[in-house]
Amino acid sequence: MDFELSPEHEAFRRVVREFAEAEIAPYAEEWDRTHTFPVDTVRKMGELGLFGLPFPEEYGGSDADFLTLCIAIEELARVDQSMAITLEAGVTLGINPIATYGTEAQKARWLPDLVTGRALAAFGLTEPDAGSDAGATRTRAELDGDEWVINGSKAFITNSGTELTSLVTITARTGPDEISAIVVPAGTPGFVVEPPYRKMGWHASDTHGLRFEDCRVPAENLLGARGEGFRQFLATLDDGRIAIAAMAVGVLQACLEESVAYAKARTAFGRPIGSYQAVAFKCADLETMTEAARWLTYRAAWLKDQGRPFKQAAAIAKLYATEAAVTATREATQIFGGYGFMDETPVARHYRDAKILEIGEGTSEIQRLVIARGLGLPVD
Amino acid sequence: MKIAVCAKQIPDPATPYDLDPDHHWVVRPDDQVLDDTDRYGVEIGLQLAEASEGTVTLFSMSPAGTLQGIRQALAMGADKAVVISDPALKGSDAAVTAKVLAAAIEREGYDLVIAGTESTDGYTGVVPQMLAEHLGVPSLTFAKHVEAADGTLRIHRQTPEGYDVVEAALPAVVTVTAGVVEPRYPTFKGIMQAKQKPVEELSAADLGFGADDVGAAGSGTVVEGVTPVPARQAGEIVEDDGEAYLKILEILERAKVI
């Protein structure tokens, strides 16, 4: 057994933390308040190589392991979930399908800009009437000569409408019992990006509904084999679950640090509030949850990096870490009292932002379903 | 162009460090970090090297430890490092440090030496000038802009009013101020490459110094005492009764600020 990260992992964590504290933390409150997607900051994340971490050097990536990506996502989430989800979705949902299932031509065309953060990719799976039940996809794509004609709509698609967005990979029904993935370049006629949603949190992250109205793309934009779309996105989501768990770890770490600092500084009835068990024990719980979530997440990432099965570990990490993160933001807000309810307090922003962690890329209920099936239970 | 950059490893400023009670020397932990002020020197060195297809070699006098700080600078893109690491060097003052660095830099060869204006742990701010004296080359200071081409070094030397343009023939030593370039963040690729980059470790004897030439024995400086900064007094609170600005003006005048 060895729980040490390598010196290189630790060195990289320090770099990302420094970057997050210098380039993101001072502006996160303003971006949240003004619902600003900070394009220049995302470009800087690209220059730091964050989007290319787990991808091959031949396309401009870093050939890093998945754990390194998790560390980067964790450190961004510690200061701002909006930027963390921009990276998380950009890498695991946007670039990952192209890198994993793309033809050489597709990879050569799209990856160099994506892995360097000069462009962003999005993944269109969820529909207004098909969330967890992704098999109920209604968006259709029909071959007309050498073109796909796409009709339908997608919902809650991260990174789909930024000025950096170069493509959206969508899932569409290409036959009665057949779902396929198709790459739709940004700006294709008939591809309509709807106005941004009014969200409870993640205000600086870019999220839109998408519509496809007789949207035509070349037949070669099919990603992977025809009819493989369902299997592909299930695998894509397994990776994403570890990365979302890493986001939750960052949120937990932030709640822990903020709460302990405040418990030492704030006094009530003549003593620091951290001298009262009511507050001190909450901090102890935050520390415990943070450690548990972190090691579940790192283990899932490690299994993936070892090439071993990780579906169960990823679901466990996602379920525990995200539910712990939501609990932690609620408790941290409680420790901050009235100040915790003020929008500009970081824990208040984390509280609003955290809820979606239990929903996106597989709800807690879906994780429980995956875990229960992993136990051999015949559960529906 | 062969560029030498002085890079100091210091205790992480985020965690307070101790002074040993006998000599008041900084107790150096194993995992020191790169002095923040040296990141500017490394950045300028890298920019000049990129423009001239040159090389950047780091020079550091330091207990070796994990070499974490040196690896940081290598991860930014420096080509190699020379670390002079020897128990005999313990207690060296600024003059001895300059003498040792000069010997190592001379041995390696150089066209330009870049250093920060002062370290964040010792703050003597004299090592680069002493280094230039030992090397017998011009010393240019407080550069906020550096150009080096055709055998000439030209800098903008920061002054309270603006800047002077100063030139010298290369080779030369220049100190650079913080905040004038944005030091690059090391990428993951840079961090992995830094693992493979050469780090040469030298002893004092490798540079021809005997035990009496360096360390406390060779140093003329003795720190006689260290006094903690007095705790800050509680400030004066001026209640605003509509005329508070008059009181504030009076306080500022008394403090000779206005």
What secondary structure does DSSP assign to B216-256, as a single string? HHH---------PPPPPPPPPP---SS-HHHHHHHHHHHTT
Residue B175: phi, psi to the nearest 5? -105, 140
The mean pLDDT value for B76-83 works out to 96
β-strand pairing of B163-169 with B152-158: antiparallel
CB atoms < 10 A from the CB of A112, how many? 16
Reported as a pLDDT band with limits 50, 70 and 90, residue A369 is very high
pLDDT at site B121: 82
User: pLDDT of A26-43, one tens digit each?
Assistant: 999 999 999 999 999 999
Put simply, the answer to whether A11 touches B68 (Cβ < 8 Å) is yes
Q: Is the pLDDT of residue B66 over 80?
A: no
Q: Above 80 in pLDDT, residue B179? A: no
DSSP string, B67-127: -HHHHHHHHHT--EEEEE--GGGTT--HHHHHHHHHHHHHHH--SEEEEESS-TTT----H
The larger pLDDT score, comparing residue B19 to residue A365, is at A365
| Å between A336 CA and nearest CA of chain B | 25
CB contact under 8 A, B185 and A48: yes
For the segment B135-159, the average pLDDT, to the nearest whole number, is 94
Note the pLDDT of residue A131. 85
Mean pLDDT of chain A: 96
In Å, how far are A78, A299, A302 from A306, measured between CA atoms?
A: 27, 10, 6
Residues in chain B within 8 Å Cβ distance of A62: 187-189, 192
Q: How many CB atoms lie within 10 A of CB A175?
A: 12
Judged by DSSP in three states, A59 sits in helix
Q: What is the per-residue pLDDT for B21? A: 84
Closest Cα of chain B to A46: distance in Å? 10
Rg over CA atoms, chain B: 21
Sign of CA pseudo-dihedral B201, B203, B207, B213: positive
Give the pLDDT score at B187: 94
For residue B40, the model assigns a pLDDT of 94
A377: confidence class by pLDDT, cuts 50, 70, 90:
very high
pLDDT of B63 above 80: no
Active site residues of A: 361
Going from N- to C-terminal start, the domains of chain A cover: 7-120, 121-226, 230-374
Query: Quick one: fold of A230-374?
Result: Butyryl-CoA Dehydrogenase, subunit A; domain 3 (1.20.140)
**SS3 readout for A86-135:** HHHHHHHHHHHHHHHHCCHHHHHHHHHHHHCCCCEEEEECCECCECCCHH
Interchain contact A298–B (C-beta under 8 A)? no
Quote the pTM value: 0.89
Helices (H) and strands (E) in chain B, counts: 7, 11
Q: Taking CB atoms and an 8 Å limit, are A11 and B195 in contact across chains?
A: no
What is the distance between the alpha carbons of residues B58 and A38, in angstroms, rounded to a whole number?
Answer: 36
In chain B, the percentage of residues whose pLDDT exceeds 90 is 61
| Most A-contacting residue of B74, B191, B193 (CB-CB within 10 A), to test interface | B191
pLDDT tens for A120-139 read: 999 999 999 888 887 889 99
The pLDDT of residue B64 is 67
User: What is the pLDDT averaged over residues A268-293?
Assistant: 97
The second-level CATH assignment, the architecture, of A7-120 is Orthogonal Bundle (1.10)
Count of A-B CB contacts under 8 Å? 35
- Tracing tokens 């800009």 back to the chain, one arrives at A113
pLDDT greater than 90 at residue B130 = yes
- Tell me the pLDDT tens digit for each residue of A161-181: 999 999 999 999 999 889 999
**Closest CA in chain A for residue B36:** A18
Our measurement of the distance from residue B161's CA atom to the centroid of its chain's CA atoms, rounded to an integer in Å, reads 24
Q: What's the pLDDT score for residue B58?
A: 97
Percent of chain A with pLDDT over 70: 100
pLDDT of residue A160: 96
- Rounded mean pLDDT of A192-198? 95
Tell me which of A62, A70, A91 to substitute to probe the interface with B (most B C-beta atoms closer than 10 Å). Answer: A62
pLDDT of residue A47: 95
Q: Find, in chain A, the residue whose alpha carbon is nearest to that of B76.
A: A15
Query: Tokens at residue B5, please?
Result: 């950059």
Half-sphere exposure of B156 (CA within 13 A, CB side): 9
Instruction: Please give the domain boundaries of chain B with CATH numbers for all domains.
Output: 2-218 (3.40.50.620)
In the predicted model, what is the mean pLDDT of chain B?
Answer: 91
Contact B32, B139 (CB under 8 A): no
In chain A, residues with a C-beta closer than 8 Å to the C-beta of B71 are 7, 11
Q: Does domain A121-226 have CATH number 2.40.110.10?
A: yes
ipTM exceeds 0.95: no
